[in-house]
Amino acid sequence: MMDAVRDVCVIGLGLIGGSVLRAAKAAGRTVWGATAGKEDADKARAEGFDIVSVDEALSRSAEALVVLAVPLPALPDLLRKVPEGTRLTDVTSVKGPVHDAVHRYAPHARFVGGHPMAGTSRSGWDAGSASLFDNAAWVVTPEEADDHLNDVIRLALDLKAHVVPTTPEEHDEAVARISHLPHIMAAILASVGADGGPLAMALAAGSFGDGTRVAGSRPELVRAMCEGNRDALLMAVDDALGRLGAARGSLASTGGLAKTIEAGHEGRNALVDQPNRTPITIDLTKPGALAALRNLGSRGGRVVGLNGSIAQAETS
C-alpha cells in the first residue's frame, strides 16, 4: 500500500477553500495555497499561511493532495495548468460538470470529486473558519477505489466531516433538490413578499424570515451554483411547479390543501427523523468496493473513519 499523502495544496481561498486551508493546518497537515484574489491572499498571508502563485503551488504538489476551490467557470483555465499525475480533488457544488472538465482539460491527473455540504450566506477568506466542516457531510464521487480516494477520504475525516460516497449524477440530482431549489424558492418567496409592500414587510416574522434567509446570499454566487447544475435543477423545479400547481388547483376547486400540507409535513419528518445507523466496515482493497461505497451513499449512509484501507461506515 502506498504511503498516505499528507501535504495539502488549496487553490482558491474563498469561504470553502480558506476553510479547508485553515482546517487542514489545524489537523496538523503541511499546507500551502494560491488564489487569484489579491485581497484574500494578503489576508491569508497576514495570518501566517504560505501563499504562493498558482504555478508555484502546483509545481510543489507532486506529492501533495491538490484541492481545487475555485468557481466552476474558472476551472478549465486552472485544469490546463495541472501537471500529469497530480492528485486532485475539488469542493465545487456540482459534480457532473467538474468531472467533465477534468476529463477534458486534465485527463492525466488523478481525480476524486468532492463537495463539503457546508457554507454560510457570507463569502470570501474572512467568512471561513477551521471548524466549518465539523459534523458536515462531505460528498465524494470516486471513479475507482484506490489510494487517491483513501487520501481524499482521510482529508475530509481529518477536517471533522463524514464522507458520503456517490456518483456525480446522483449527487447533482440530490443537491438540486436540497440545496439549489431552496435558493430558487427563497428568491420567489422574497419577491412575492416584497410585492406586498411596506405593510407586508412590517408584518413579516418567523416563517417568512426562515423561508427567505438564503436569498440574502450574494446573487452572483447563487447564480453560479444554480446555473452550473442546470439539468438536474430543471427537474427539481418541474417537480416544484407541478406540486405548486396542484396545490393551487385544490385550493381553488375544493378549498382544501390537505395533500400539499401533509406531504410537506412528511417530507420535513424525513429530514428530522434521520434513521438509526448501523456500523459496518468496507474493505477498500476488495473487488466491488466502489459499488459498495456508492450503495452506502444511495441509502443515506456514510464513512466515519478509515483504518488503513478499511472504511468504518454507518448504514441505515
**Interface positions, 62-121, toward a second copy (CB under 8 A):** 117-120
Candidate list 85, 272, 287, 307; residue touching a second copy; CB under 8 A? 272
Most distant pair of Cα atoms in the chain: their distance: 68
**Interface positions, 146-185, toward a second copy (CB under 8 A):** 164, 166, 170-171, 173-175, 177-179, 181-185
Name which of 44 and 139 has its Cβ closer to a second copy.
139
Tell me which stretch binds a second copy (CB under 8 A): 23-31, 36-44, 104-112, 135-143.
135-143
Name which of 85 and 209 has its Cβ closer to a second copy.
209
Candidate list 73, 76, 83, 275; residue touching a second copy; CB under 8 A? 275
- Which amino acid is present at 100? D
Q: Give Cβ neighbours of residue 289 (< 8 Å, ≥ 6 apart).
A: 145, 282, 283
Counting contacts by CB under 8 A, is residue 248 touching a second copy?
A: yes
* Nearest alpha carbon to residue 160 among 305, 298, 287: 305
Counting contacts by CB under 8 A, is residue 13 touching a second copy?
A: no
* Nearest alpha carbon to residue 60 among 49, 52, 70: 52
Q: Quote the least distance from Cβ 122 to a second copy, whole Å.
A: 12
Chain CA centroid to CA 234, Å: 19
**Residue 48 and residue 25 in contact, taking contact as beta carbons nearer than 8 Å:** no
Q: Quote the least distance from Cβ 51 to a second copy, whole Å.
A: 28
Q: Quote the least distance from Cβ 200 to a second copy, whole Å.
A: 4
Candidate list 45, 80, 122, 265; residue touching a second copy; CB under 8 A? 265
Strands 31-34 and 87-90: unpaired
**Interface positions, 282-301, toward a second copy (CB under 8 A):** 297-301
Rama region for 68: left / alpha / beta (φ>0; ψ in -120 to 50; rest): beta
Q: Quote the least distance from Cβ 127 to a second copy, whole Å.
A: 13
Nearest-angstrom CA–CA distance, 223 and 220: 5
Q: Quote the least distance from Cβ 230 to a second copy, whole Å.
A: 6
With vertex at residue 173, the alpha carbon angle to CA 191 and CA 133, rounded to the nearest 5 degrees, is 85
Taking residue 136's Cβ as centre, other Cβ atoms within 10 Å add up to 17
Tell me which stretch binds a second copy (CB under 8 A): 16-24, 28-36, 79-87, 271-279.
271-279
Name which of 10 and 161 has its Cβ closer to a second copy.
161
Name which of 143 and 170 has its Cβ closer to a second copy.
170
DSSP-derived 3-state class of residue 130: coil
295 phi and psi angles, rounded to 5 deg:
-65, -40
Q: Quote the least distance from Cβ 8 to a second copy, whole Å.
A: 23
Name which of 37 and 97 has its Cβ closer to a second copy.
97
Candidate list 244, 280, 291, 310; residue touching a second copy; CB under 8 A? 244
**Interface positions, 181-240, toward a second copy (CB under 8 A):** 181-217, 219, 222-223, 226-227, 230, 233-234, 236-240
Tell me which stretch binds a second copy (CB under 8 A): 17-25, 49-57, 252-260, 278-286.
252-260
Instruction: List, edge to edge, every strand of the sheet that includes 31-34.
Output: 31-34, 7-11, 64-68, 87-90, 110-116, 137-141, 162-165, 302-307, 310-315, 278-283
Q: Which residue has the cell 457554507?
A: 119
Q: Give Cβ neighbours of residue 309 (< 8 Å, ≥ 6 apart).
A: 1, 150, 283, 284, 285
State the number of binding residues for a second copy (CB under 8 A).
101
